[in-house]
């Protein structure tokens, strides 16, 4: 067991204020951190923007030894490392982008067996490499391996939407270091995923040691809405621009404008994200919005690193011309800008979890924010074909089934005109209590209108199946990410 400080539990309020510059804990953060500091394994499932990162970062600052944070996305690691370094915490990351000098520094630090680094962010792929494993063994022998934190832990399960096979190999940690506590954190797991994650990591074999915190997925400040469309109507662009102009008009009204100006905000500064399904659509939509006088920029995997960094930095700084990021799913987990006022899904996403994870980028400051999804039955069929075609062969037998189930749950959610959106989401994630929805979804706002909009907006199933048979909307070239 790594060494722990005897006074560590008393330190947590002080560390929260001094190192993290935050006044109070959010509900449950204290209990989670205490459980971690007491040496338990910890499973945390909490809504997007809950503040899960603090739950492993604060113990890492207090405890002796190094915390290894395993994270699936480079951008997510970089954001967290930058924020920690700005708070004077010695956090680092080892990944394919790490400069040679920094890499050498980290390896030397690990080789001492007594690393000064508090948190080291790595990919699951690196954790599978023998060289890295040997270095961790040296640290462990010196009783300096404090904890393993697995962020976005749903990626471990082949029943989860973002499954990555190297996450499965993280079972090595418990097998090799049975005394080192493991924390896993996720916003989007259902019951099957949860059990699979725990079993894979070997945590369910030690129930006395494991503390589980499952909080609601509910985000009451997100206004959820499905907007119905079809290939024939092709009206997303006009619909969206009309909506945004309505928002500008309301913000431009006299008293609101004065309020905004007093707060140093521009009327047109309404930061948002539009998720598209392909690079081509991402580029063309951003260009069309700019043409319509709206500050929108594309963000996808094929842009240079410099371009992506610049776009992200200028969007985060609320610069004119950078209000809206039009992105593929390359822009998702871990984006932590507090004033994102809307997230639009231009097309149906590929999974229920992906949809909610991306919608969760909105309203992280707790203020009302809009999430709408443009849904057409033609897109539903296209996404279905994509999932059938793209499911990785090494995803395991459950993976394809899980992906298709998730997609069909999302289609059912889109076509449901009889229930609260928030309630459907919480039920999907295995919650039994119905969350409060204060007119924050299209069903609560106008159930009769919702039914009418679906009937008017969607192509009929008969038409869709005829088109499918005739190959009427088979042009998937536009749909490759």
Residue nearest to ligand ATP (CB): 51
Q: Closer to ligand ATP at the Cβ: 136 or 185?
A: 185
Q: Closer to ligand ATP at the Cβ: 153 or 373?
A: 153
Q: Closer to ligand ATP at the Cβ: 138 or 330?
A: 330
Q: Closer to ligand ATP at the Cβ: 42 or 459?
A: 42
Residue 289 CB, nearest distance to ligand ATP (Å)? Answer: 25
Residue 80 CB, nearest distance to ligand ATP (Å)? Answer: 8
What 3-state DSSP class applies to 100? helix
Greatest Cα pair distance in the chain:
72
Dist. CA 3–CA 7, nearest whole Å: 12
Question: Dihedral sign, CA of 458, 463, 468, 473?
Answer: negative
Dist. CA 337–CA 321, nearest whole Å: 17
The helix (H) or strand (E) run that includes residue 192 is helix 191-201
Residue 146 CB, nearest distance to ligand ATP (Å)? Answer: 19
User: Could you tell me what percentage of the chain is helix, strand and coil, using 3-state DSSP and rounding each to the nearest 5?
Assistant: 45, 15, 40
Residue 221 CB, nearest distance to ligand ATP (Å)? Answer: 13
Q: Closer to ligand ATP at the Cβ: 45 or 424?
A: 45
Residue 87 CB, nearest distance to ligand ATP (Å)? Answer: 10
Q: Closer to ligand ATP at the Cβ: 217 or 437?
A: 217
Q: Closer to ligand ATP at the Cβ: 317 or 448?
A: 317
Dist. CA 216–CA 145, nearest whole Å: 32
Dist. CA 295–CA 451, nearest whole Å: 34
Q: Closer to ligand ATP at the Cβ: 398 or 435?
A: 435
By the criterion CB under 6 A, which residues form the site for ligand ATP? 22, 25-26, 29, 46, 48-54, 187, 334, 336, 360, 364
Residue 49 CB, nearest distance to ligand ATP (Å)? Answer: 5
Question: Dihedral sign, CA of 222, 74, 99, 64?
Answer: positive
| Cβ atoms of residues 147 and 112 within 8 Å | no
The DSSP output letter for 154 is G
Residue 481 CB, nearest distance to ligand ATP (Å)? Answer: 21
Residue 334 CB, nearest distance to ligand ATP (Å)? Answer: 5
| Cβ atoms of residues 66 and 145 within 8 Å | yes
Dist. CA 373–CA 344, nearest whole Å: 6
Dist. CA 267–CA 233, nearest whole Å: 31
Q: Closer to ligand ATP at the Cβ: 160 or 360?
A: 360
Q: Closer to ligand ATP at the Cβ: 297 or 364?
A: 364
The DSSP output letter for 211 is E
Residue 368 CB, nearest distance to ligand ATP (Å)? Answer: 17
Dist. CA 80–CA 93, nearest whole Å: 10
Query: Within 13 Å of residue 124, how many CA atoms lie on the same side as its CB?
Result: 22
The helix (H) or strand (E) run that includes residue 421 is helix 421-428
Q: Closer to ligand ATP at the Cβ: 22 or 251?
A: 22
Residue 69 CB, nearest distance to ligand ATP (Å)? Answer: 12
Tell me the two tokens of residue 56: 């492993």
Q: Where are the alpha helices (DSSP H) in 253-278?
A: 254-262
Question: Dihedral sign, CA of 62, 65, 70, 76?
Answer: positive
Dist. CA 387–CA 406, nearest whole Å: 11
Dist. CA 174–CA 195, nearest whole Å: 16
Residue 57 CB, nearest distance to ligand ATP (Å)? Answer: 8
Q: For 303, phi and psi rounded to 5 degrees? A: -75, 155
């Amino acid at each position: 067991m790594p060494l722990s400080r005897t006074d560590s539990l008393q330190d947590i309020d002080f560390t929260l204020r001094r190192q993290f510059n935050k006044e109070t804990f959010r509900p449950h953060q204290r209990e989670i951190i205490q459980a971690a500091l007491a040496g338990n394994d910890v499973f945390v499932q909490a809504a997007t923007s809950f503040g899960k990162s603090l739950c492993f970062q604060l113990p890492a600052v207090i405890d002796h030894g190094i915390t290894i944070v395993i994270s699936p996305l480079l951008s997510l690691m970089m954001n967290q490392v930058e924020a920690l370094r700005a708070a004077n915490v010695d956090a680092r990351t080892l990944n394919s982008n790490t400069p040679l000098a920094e890499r050498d520094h980290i390896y030397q630090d690990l080789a001492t067996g007594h690393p000064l680094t508090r948190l080291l962010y790595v990919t699951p792929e690196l954790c599978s490499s023998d060289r890295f494993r040997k270095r961790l063994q040296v640290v462990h022998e010196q009783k300096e391996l404090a904890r393993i934190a697995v962020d976005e832990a749903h990626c471990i399960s082949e029943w989860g939407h973002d499954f990555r096979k190297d996450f499965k190999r993280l079972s090595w940690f418990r097998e090799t270091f049975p005394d080192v506590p493991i924390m896993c954190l996720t916003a989007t797991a259902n019951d099957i995923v949860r059990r699979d994650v725990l079993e894979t990591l070997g945590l369910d074999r030690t129930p006395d040691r494991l503390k589980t915190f499952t909080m609601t997925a509910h985000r009451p400040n997100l206004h959820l809405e499905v907007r119905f469309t079809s290939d024939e109507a092709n009206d997303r662009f006009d619909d969206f621009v009309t909506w945004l102009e309505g928002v500008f008009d309301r913000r431009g009204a006299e008293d609101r404008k004065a309020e905004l100006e007093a707060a140093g905000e521009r009327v047109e500064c309404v930061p948002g994200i539009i998720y598209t399904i392909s690079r081509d659509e991402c580029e063309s939509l951003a260009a069309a919005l700019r043409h319509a006088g709206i500050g929108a920029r594309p963000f996808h995997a094929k842009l240079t690193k410099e371009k992506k960094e610049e776009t992200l930095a200028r969007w985060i700084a609320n610069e004119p011309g950078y209000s809206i990021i039009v992105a593929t799913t390359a822009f998702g987990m871990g984006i932590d800008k507090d004033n994102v006022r809307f997230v639009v899904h231009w097309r149906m996403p590929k999974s229920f979890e992906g949809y909610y994870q991306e919608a969760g980028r909105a309203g992280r400051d707790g203020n009302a924010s809009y999430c709408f999804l443009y849904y057409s039955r033609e897109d539903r069929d296209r996404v279905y074909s994509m999932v059938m075609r793209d499911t990785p062969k090494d995803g395991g037998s459950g993976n394809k089934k899980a992906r298709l189930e998730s997609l069909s749950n999302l289609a059912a959610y889109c076509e449901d005109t009889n229930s609260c959106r928030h309630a459907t989401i919480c039920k999907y994630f295995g919650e039994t209590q119905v969350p409060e929805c204060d007119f924050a979804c299209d069903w609560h706002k106008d159930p009769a209108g919702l039914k009418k909009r679906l009937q008017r907006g969607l192509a009929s199933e008969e038409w869709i199946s005829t088109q499918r048979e005739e190959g009427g909307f088979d042009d998937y070239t536009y749909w490759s990410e």
